[in-house]
Amino acid sequence: MAEAVRQGYRQDHPQWSNLGQGQPEIGQLPGSPERIDKVVIDLNDHEYAPVAGLWEMREAVAALYNHQYRQGKRSQYSALNVAVCGGGRLGLARAAAALGSINMGHFLPDYTAYEELLDVFGNFTAIPILLDAQSGYHFDAEDLRREVLGRGLGAVLLSNPANPTGKLIQGQALGDWVDVARELDCCLLMDEFYSNYIWSGPANTPGYSVSAAQFVDDVNKDPVVLFNGLTKNWRYPGWRISWVVGPEEVIDAVTSTGSFLDGGASRPLQRAALPLLNPSVVQQETIALHKAFAHKRSTLLAGLENLGIQVDLRPQGTFYVWGDLSQLSPEFSDGMAFFRAALQHKVIVVPGEFFDVNPGKRRPGRTARYRQHARFSFGPDLTHMSRGLANLQEMLSR
Q: What DSSP string describes 181-247?
A: HHHHT-EEEEE-TTTT-BSSS-TT-TT----GGGG-S-TTTS-EEEEEETTTSSS-GGG--EEEE--
Name the 3-class secondary structure at 100. Answer: coil
| Fold observed for domain 2-30+282-397 | Aspartate Aminotransferase, domain 1 (3.90.1150)
- Residues paired with 310 in a beta bridge: 324
How distant is the alpha carbon of residue 143 from its chain centre? 22
In the chain, which stretches have pLDDT less than 70?
Answer: 122, 203-204, 365-367
pLDDT digit string, tens, across residues 225-254: 999 999 999 999 999 999 999 999 999 999
- pTM for the whole structure: 0.96
pLDDT digit string, tens, across residues 64-115: 999 999 999 999 999 999 999 999 999 999 998 888 889 999 999 999 988 8
- Residues paired with 83 in a beta bridge: 244
- Contact between 161 and 197 (Cβ < 8 Å): yes
Residues of the chain with CATH 3.40.640.10: 43-278
Residues of the chain with CATH 3.90.1150.10: 2-30+282-397
To the question of domain 43-278 being in CATH 2.60.120.1570, the answer is no
